[in-house]
Structure 1
Amino acid sequence: MKHSFPHPLVILLSIVVVAAVSTFIIPSGAFDRILDEKTGREVVVPGSFHSTEDRNISFYDTVLSIPEGIIAGADIIVLILLIGGAFYVIEKTGALQLGIEALVYRFRNSQSALLIIFSSFFFLGGISFGMQEEVIAMVPILILLSKRINFDIRAMISLSLGSALVGGSFSPINPFGSLLAQNISNVDFEEGFAYRIVFTVLAFIVWTGFHIHWGKSNVLNSEKPEFKPVKISKSNGLILALVAAGMVIMPWGILQRDWGYNEMSALFFVIGICCGLIGKLGVNGTARAYSQGFSELIFAGIIVGLARSVYLILEQAQVIDTLIQGMFSPLETMPTAFATVGIFVSQILIHGIVPSTSGQAVLTIPLATPLTDLLGVSRQVAVLTYQYGGCLTDLIIPNNGALMAVIAAASVAYNEWISYVWKSFLLVLGIGLISSILALFWFA
């Protein structure tokens, strides 16, 4: 009898249970925290770790963490629903299909060029503002494009969400990753900029090249797609222009106006309504399309909320600081190269329990920085090991809500995703590790 791989909901609920059980094994402890005036965030005080009264999580608290996690992720869930609903409306107008058809026809003789441009868009989104959850609502586009050019949907996810995650991990300017870590560790932004850019470009070439090749290789249907010219009406052209404008305004708002999820949600809610009316769906038709879009993406939103539940359990039990202390303290007596690898691996493991990249920076950089000082190496090593080891892990960890939501919306099982992406994940992780080790000599 054939057994199917566990559903994403089962996987995340299992992780919630494991997190709750671990609180009976791992002793509670905490670091003291102070407000960092430069970043406006609370950071840990190195050397301040102390044991606290054990806080084992009961069955009641475990069950309660599920709705609490969903509530804690409310802003992201609203973003998923409103942007997702907007794209569903746009899809119903037919403009999205025509836009993809026109794009495919334009690059009918150079599919690789189309995919490179496609990957570049998401990679730059990751570099500039840490694009991640925003990709969830774009899954209908990924599916349409994948079918139209006869391309593996897993490779299409890799060239969208994957490219955004890799771009954010290698970026020298990601405000939620590298910039935050550099500010906390008092590292000069300009000091390692050129060095980081070299490895960022290398990561893009390796990642994009790998998935363009394997996306074609893994397609079972060997039939060549037909390419036909399409005519885009004025109304459809206006709809596509509104969508393009939204994709430009969103990163501008994040970087220049300090926008959060609510502002992005409001932007695309208005765009969705306008597109429905321009596309002659009518007021009721637009409302129906929006509600259908909500129903399609509500599960993706719940997945994001459940990922928060895991962190809430560990935070409530005060075991996160204990785990971080246990990982970093043995590295103080190691030779520099081994200690660097140790910090790198520790950041990978820590990201499994702290899925927020900015949260991980606040927790670990204040500890990794004095450790690199003790080892006599540049603080750039502390930033790079966090940036590569921690952030790249978003590509595979099941408690990354955005990842699980995207593959669920695309009807890709978690095991199918891992079986496809693990080689490319190890490739970019290897690039990050090499960069971290070479930094010992480059910044000496």
Structure 2
Amino acid sequence: MMSTVNVRSEKNLKAPENQENRKLFKVPHSFVIILFIIIFATALTWIVPTGEFERFENDLGITVVNPETFKYIDSSQVNPLGIPLYIIEGFIKSADLFFLIILSGGAFNVITSSGALQAAVGKVAKKYSTKESIFIPILTLLFGLICTTQGVNLFIGFAPVTVMIARAMGFDSIVGVAIILLGGAVGFSTGTLNPSTTIVAQKLADLPLYSGIEFRIFSFIVYMIITNIFLIRYAKSVRKNPQLSPMYDLDIMDQSIVDRDLDSFGDMNSRNWLVMLSLIGTLAVIVYGGVKLNWGLIESSAAFLWLGIIAGIAAGYGPSKIASCFVEGAKKMVAAAMIIGLARAVPGVLTAGKIIDTIVYGLGSVLSTIPKFAQGMAMYIANNFINLFVTSGSGQAAATMPIIIPLSDIVGISRQTSILAFNFGDGFSNYIMPTSTALMGILGVTNIPYDRWMKFMWKMFLVWVLTGCILVFIAQMINLGPM
């Protein structure tokens, strides 16, 4: 019997008539979008005055800026002819992430070619086909909790799995990636336990480590509830009317999951169970390694390489079969990996042009003119803009905290509130910026164009910004402490 939630009527499966005629503008390829951003960053180095702060190593061994030493220096414009060099440098600096994407793609292709993942998906989709109000929050909470200490980059290789599950349940591809991106965003951006953002910022602010955690947990809960309400409503709407999905025309071109009888995916025989256990075990090892053993992307990449081999053996493949499946999957990930390398060229251009300090100094100067009741919210908004230029969380903390903390002391905002504003600004904007490696990596491996994602995401981001402003305002009003 065909599953009712997975079969679309012929009317729904047909693309809207004259769709192409109504499309007046086609969004450029992701490569083109990022290239324009690189060119814009290069132009800024010719427009924005060059400046710098003096830097020193504090008692904690962290290099910070002296906020009282900003000065303008000789111009250091970036030659547009040198843009390809910055792109190559971006590829080199992204090598660890590049290999993670390539190797995870190869491993997952071995798994999917065995049919084990499809069989598991069929069982999951049948069990939760009408329980999205339970299924979605459980997964987003899981990714959110893990990302309180880890970056969302960790789950780039897992994104095809959640997309497959979401589509088999009658949703679209966006629901699949949103489960990871939105859940992970809440965990990372609220900064509950994050060592690369919260802890670095608290060290620079001379605050007790992990202090203020109660309010950050409260923020995590608030954001998680709001995000799940938004995502569940969207998921229900696209299952009821698939044409509402920004991915509708692209998803209907791939009916390998949606239009099949879920029972036709096959049974979970012993080999399929072994393949799935290898996948679950590898993901568990990667998460444990990241949380407990301080693993980086290199170790995670090695784990995916082992996954491809072990899963192939479990599926009964010979060495040549494993190798051919792995290479085929790796080929599909090249474009996604290249996007990340391109994105890394942007901060490279701004750093070479020596205008990042000028931008930070200018935003700090503007902030001092804002009415006191709105200064916490202004800090949050300012950090969103800074995140366009300083994409590293720890790097942004080192660049901004020595300026924001003295400014907070002067205007009477607690340092803890300033760190909360930094966390929100550094985190949530990563899920709309085409220079975000986590966002572009996950969109790349799931073949979701950036413009399609933004058609879904812009409303969610506005809700996040409004929520962040309210939470920072509350923190300011209660003088969130200590300090």
Whether these two folds match at TM > 0.5 is: yes
Tell me the TM-score normalized by structure 2.
Answer: 0.87
**Of residues 123, 138, 154 in structure 2, which corresponds to 1:117?**
138
- The alignment of Structure 1 onto Structure 2 pairs a total of residues equal to 442
Residue 311 of structure 1 deviates from its aligned partner by 0.5
Q: Which residue of 2 aligns with 1:200?
A: 220
Q: Which residue of 2 aligns with 1:136?
A: 156
Cα 1:216–1:73 change in 2 (3 A) is: same
On the 8 A contact 1:126/1:171 being kept in 2, the answer is: no
DSSP-derived class of the 2:27 partner: coil
Cα 1:93–1:36 change in 2 (3 A) is: farther
On the 8 A contact 1:12/1:398 being kept in 2, the answer is: yes
CA distance in 1 between partners of 2:93 and 2:299 (Å): 18
Q: Which residue of 2 aligns with 1:278?
A: 314
Identity %: 29
Residue 330 of structure 1 deviates from its aligned partner by 2.6
CA distance in 1 between partners of 2:261 and 2:222 (Å): 34
Residue 95 of structure 1 deviates from its aligned partner by 1.4
Q: Which residue of 2 aligns with 1:368?
A: 404
DSSP-derived class of the 2:148 partner: helix
1:105 aligns with 2:126: yes
Q: Which residue of 2 aligns with 1:231?
A: 267
Residue 332 of structure 1 deviates from its aligned partner by 2.4
**Of residues 57, 67, 76 in structure 1, which corresponds to 2:78?**
57
On the 8 A contact 1:172/1:179 being kept in 2, the answer is: no
DSSP-derived class of the 2:422 partner: helix
Instruction: Deviation per CA, 1:198-228: give whole Å up to 9, x if none.
Output: 1101111110121111122034449999654
1:69 aligns with 2:105: no
Structure 1 runs (4+) greater than 6 angstroms displaced? 222-225
Which has the higher mean CA deviation after the structures are superposed, 220-229 or 62-71? 220-229
Instruction: Deviation per CA, 1:106-128: give whole Å up to 9, x if none.
Output: 32442332222221222122213
Q: Which residue of 2 aligns with 1:171?
A: 191
DSSP-derived class of the 2:63 partner: strand
Residue 56 of structure 1 deviates from its aligned partner by 0.6
CA distance in 2 between partners of 1:3 and 1:436 (Å): 38
1:85 aligns with 2:106: yes
**Of residues 151, 158, 175 in structure 2, which corresponds to 1:155?**
175
Which has the higher mean CA deviation after the structures are superposed, 8-17 or 183-192? 183-192
**Of residues 202, 208, 214 in structure 2, which corresponds to 1:188?**
208
Instruction: Deviation per CA, 1:365-396: give whole Å up to 9, x if none.
Output: 12111111111221011101111122110111
Q: Which residue of 2 aligns with 1:29?
A: 51
On the 8 A contact 2:39/2:80 being kept in 1, the answer is: no
CA distance in 1 between partners of 2:84 and 2:189 (Å): 33
Q: After superposition, where does 1:295-374 map in structure 2 within 5 Å?
A: 295-374=331-410
DSSP-derived class of the 2:207 partner: coil
Query: What is the identity, as a one-letter code, of the residue corresponding to 1:258?
Result: N
DSSP-derived class of the 2:195 partner: coil
Cα 1:190–1:353 change in 2 (3 A) is: closer
Instruction: Deviation per CA, 1:329-374: give whole Å up to 9, x if none.
Output: 2322443222222211110111111122222112111211111111
1:403 aligns with 2:432: no
CA distance in 2 between partners of 1:342 and 1:109 (Å): 42
Residue 322 of structure 1 deviates from its aligned partner by 0.5
DSSP-derived class of the 1:43 partner: strand
Instruction: Deviation per CA, 1:295-340: give whole Å up to 9, x if none.
Output: 1111111111111101100001100010010011232244322222
On the 8 A contact 1:28/1:51 being kept in 2, the answer is: yes
| Structure 1: unaligned runs, 5 residues or longer | none
Q: After superposition, where does 1:256-295 map in structure 2 within 5 Å?
A: 256-295=292-331
Query: What is the identity, as a one-letter code, of the residue corresponding to 1:396?
Result: I
**Of residues 208, 214, 217 in structure 1, which corresponds to 2:237?**
217
On the 8 A contact 2:148/2:187 being kept in 1, the answer is: yes
CA distance in 2 between partners of 1:72 and 1:401 (Å): 12
Instruction: Deviation per CA, 1:251-277: give whole Å up to 9, x if none.
Output: 221222211111111122112211111
On the 8 A contact 2:110/2:329 being kept in 1, the answer is: yes
Instruction: Deviation per CA, 1:402-443: give whole Å up to 9, x if none.
Output: 212322333323222112111111112222211111111223
Q: Which residue of 2 aligns with 1:10?
A: 32
Residue 59 of structure 1 deviates from its aligned partner by 2.2
Residue 8 of structure 1 deviates from its aligned partner by 0.2
Instruction: Deviation per CA, 1:54-78: give whole Å up to 9, x if none.
Output: 1111123222111111111111111
CA distance in 2 between partners of 1:283 and 1:122 (Å): 34
Instruction: Deviation per CA, 1:2-38: give whole Å up to 9, x if none.
Output: 4321110000001111111111101111112222453
On the 8 A contact 1:199/1:431 being kept in 2, the answer is: no
CA distance in 2 between partners of 1:396 and 1:290 (Å): 31
CA-based RMSD of the aligned residues comes to 2.1
Q: Which residue of 2 aligns with 1:47?
A: 68
Residue 190 of structure 1 deviates from its aligned partner by 4.5
Q: Which residue of 1 aligns with 2:248?
A: none
CA distance in 1 between partners of 2:107 and 2:35 (Å): 30
Cα 1:205–1:226 change in 2 (3 A) is: farther
